[in-house]
Amino acid sequence: MTAPDLRPLIVGSGIAGLYVALRGREAGLAPTIVTKSRLDESNTRYAQGGIAAALGPDDSPARHLADTTAAGDGLVDPAAARILTDEAPRRIADLVRFGVPFDTADGQISLGREAAHSRARIVHAGGDATGFHIEETLRARVLEAGIDIRERTVLARLTPLPDGALVATLAQDGGGTEEVRAAPVVLATGGAGGLYRHSSNPAIATGDGFAVAFRAGALLADMEFIQFHPTAFARPGAPRYLITEALRGEGAKLVNAAGERFLPSGAGRGELAPRDVLCRAIRRELDRSGADHVYLDATGIPRDRLDARFPTISRFLATYGLDLSRDPVPVAPAAHYTIGGVATDLEGRTSLPGLLAVGEVASTGVHGANRLASNSLLEGLVFGERAVRQLRRSSPGGPLPPPVVLDLPSPPGEGEDRREARLAEVQELLWADAGILRSAGGLAAADRRFAELAREAEPPEGTLPGPGANAVVAGRLIVRAALAREESRGAHYRVDFPRPRATWRHALGLRRSPMPSRGERRARRA
Ligand code: SIN
């Protein structure tokens, strides 16, 4: 088969999408970036903590690997995690070369400490504005490089062709649909945190990439592992703004309304215990007290340290009349990160020829059942670099061919109000039944409701799925996987199976069942 004359299409503009586009450009390719909102709007932009890399004199990739493996609770893919931790320092050097202004002291990159890391190894920028600086820097380089960008455009459908190429159906905000043949397509669409009622993610993180890949027949894995962050701002009417773990790394303490510490001694490392341990401890304290938040008390940290290290959080809290150095901050858990996703090999290849997946939308196996803090931006970089190698193998240069414009009607009745109502229902269902504490009863009830929603939301033949339908597909994948995994491991906690089980020490794949043939359908009806 001759290589088709096609160009890479990158879907998403967080760290993974922008980095792949830039490195692809440096390799002589001419990628197009398609992004759901503005080029600079993504989960990356809101990342506070930073990126983990073994850069300190007392550290090594082997230690970083050991911490990553321990956090992943028996499910980390050793080969993937070795690559992640070995290649981390080189990828940080790439970001420095692109101009990301990491914080330094005495000419060396400053390293912070976060939960479940045995060493200080978190590089950060602007104190707690790491994601903002990365996003802004990479965006500036992408614009300078003249990379083709299509904002406010979503990938609505992927259709595999027999020659290994994919037809990507793109839908612009406000109408207009086009189809492009592209090989490869790089999914870098981020996670599904926005499908939960309480989430640290921006509203756009609604799991579209999972839904599109699933519909196209790609294999997904480990969707039950949703990581909750223990400390998001919790004030009625305010966003669940992330209050970074790095504050606990500096010594901030969790207390209840009476100012008492409540973490059980079993939490091991206290405030630096893994996130799932802290989330369950907070959830139990809230159930006990009837309150809807606990407090993060950073008043023991010197004010000049707080100002230097956490300027963004300090500014945010000031708008609510709070001062980190004087006031304990109301916090509660929020959905934060989708650990599972579209299953890939070590080069970003999915089970669907021509489709690569990178970053939060991908499941490389590096996080196992629970992601170590600040390994997520890193995953986008490390596996993004590997995906670029694949792009080089399969793509010639030049811009995308002109689009074939189609006129596909939106699903009937899929107005803005209905979409929002459907999303709100998905958010309530997931928060209630596929949240921090899960059970067979709750998950089975949610699954039944998702089946009804899926019947309602799935587009009729010849129309495109809307965002409400994607939310239903992605939410249902999470519920299905959580119901199937009858154990507790990492970020997945089942009150009816409160311990890990040896028989479940494996990944859980999800794939759409093939459409039955007409003959099979007839036989089933008979
Ligand atoms: C944080 O800053 O607490 C979040 C970092 C992460 O999720 O890796």
Q: Is 49 in the pocket of ligand 1 (CB under 6 A)?
A: yes
CB 329 within 8 A of CB 317: yes
Active centre residues (catalytic): 275
Nearest CA to ligand 1 atom 7: 373
When pLDDT is averaged across residues 271-286 and rounded to a whole number, the result is: 93
**Residue 227 CA, closest ligand 1 atom number:** 7
The CB of 374 under 6 Å from ligand 1? The reply is yes
The yes-or-no verdict on residue 415 having pLDDT over 70 is: no
What pLDDT does residue 173 have?
A: 84
* Terminal-to-terminal C-alpha distance of the chain: 43
Q: Which span out of 103-117, 256-270, 426-440, 463-477 was modeled with the highest average pLDDT?
A: 426-440
Residue 112 pLDDT level (bands cut at 50, 70, 90):
very high
**Rounded Cα–Cα distance for residues 45 and 48 (Å):** 8
State the pLDDT confidence band at 516, using cuts at 50, 70 and 90. low
Q: Which residues contact 94 (CB under 8 A, 6 or more apart)?
A: 19, 23, 381, 385
Q: What is the pLDDT of residue 451?
A: 94
d(Cα 447, Cα 28) in Å, to the nearest integer? 47
pLDDT at 268: 63
Determine which of 175-179, 231-235, 352-356 has the lowest per-residue pLDDT on average.
Answer: 175-179
Q: Give residue 522's pLDDT band: very low, low, confident or very high (50, 70, 90).
A: low
Rounded average pLDDT over 411-430: 80
7-16, 65-74, 508-517, range with the lowest pLDDT: 508-517
Determine the atom of ligand 1 nearest the C-alpha atom of 243: 3
User: Residue 408: what pLDDT?
Assistant: 46
Q: For position 216, what pLDDT does the model report?
A: 93
Task: Please tell me if the CB atom of residue 314 comes closer than 6 angstroms to any atom of ligand 1.
Answer: no
Give the model confidence (pLDDT) of 141-155 as tens digits.
999 999 999 999 999
From 48, 123, 243, give the residue whose CB has the most ligand 1 atoms within 8 Å, as the site to mutate. Answer: 48
Q: Output the six-digit token pair for 397.
A: 């240069």
* Percent of the chain whose pLDDT exceeds 90: 79
Q: Where are the domains of the chain?
A: 229-334
> What pLDDT does residue 420 have?
85
Nearest CA to ligand 1 atom 4: 49
Q: Which whole-number Å values give the CA distances from 300 to 138, 139, 306, 326, in the listed order?
A: 36, 38, 10, 9
Give the model's confidence band at 181: pLDDT under 50 very low, under 70 low, under 90 confident, else very high: confident
Mean pLDDT value of segment 45-72? 96
Q: Is the CB of 246 under 6 A from ligand 1?
A: yes
Distance CA(306)–CA(294), nearest Å, equals 20
CB atoms within 10 A of CB 506: 9
Q: 415 CA distance to ligand 1 centroid (A)?
A: 35
pLDDT value of residue 227: 98
Q: Is the CB of 376 under 6 A from ligand 1?
A: yes
What pLDDT digit, counting tens, does each position of 6-52 carry? 579 999 999 999 999 999 999 999 999 999 999 999 999 999 989 99
Average pLDDT, the chain: 90
**What pLDDT digit, counting tens, does each position of 312-341 carry?**
999 999 999 999 999 999 999 999 999 999
Q: Rounded mean pLDDT of 97-119?
A: 94
Give the distance (Å) from ligand 1 centre to CA of residue 514: 38
CA–CA separation, 325 and 264 (whole Å): 26
Taking every pair of C-alpha atoms in the chain, what is the biggest distance, in angstroms?
A: 78
Split at pLDDT 50, 70, 90, the class of 395 is low
C-alpha closest to that of 117 among 171, 51, 172, 183: 51
Listed in sequence order, the DSSP H helices in 458-517 are: 467-484
- Give me the CATH topology for the region 229-334: Flavocytochrome C3; Chain A, domain 1 (3.90.700)
Q: Which of 228, 245, 309, 377 has most ligand 1 atoms within 8 Å of CB, for mutation?
A: 245
Residue 117, number of CB atoms within 10 A of its CB = 25
- Cβ–ligand 1 contact at 482 (below 6 Å): no
Q: What is the pLDDT of residue 432?
A: 97
Specify whether the backbone of 329 is left (phi greater than 0), alpha (psi in -120 to 50) or beta: beta
For the chain, what percent of residues have pLDDT higher than 70? 91
Beta carbon of 48 within 6 Å of any ligand 1 atom: yes
> Is residue 132 over pLDDT 50?
yes
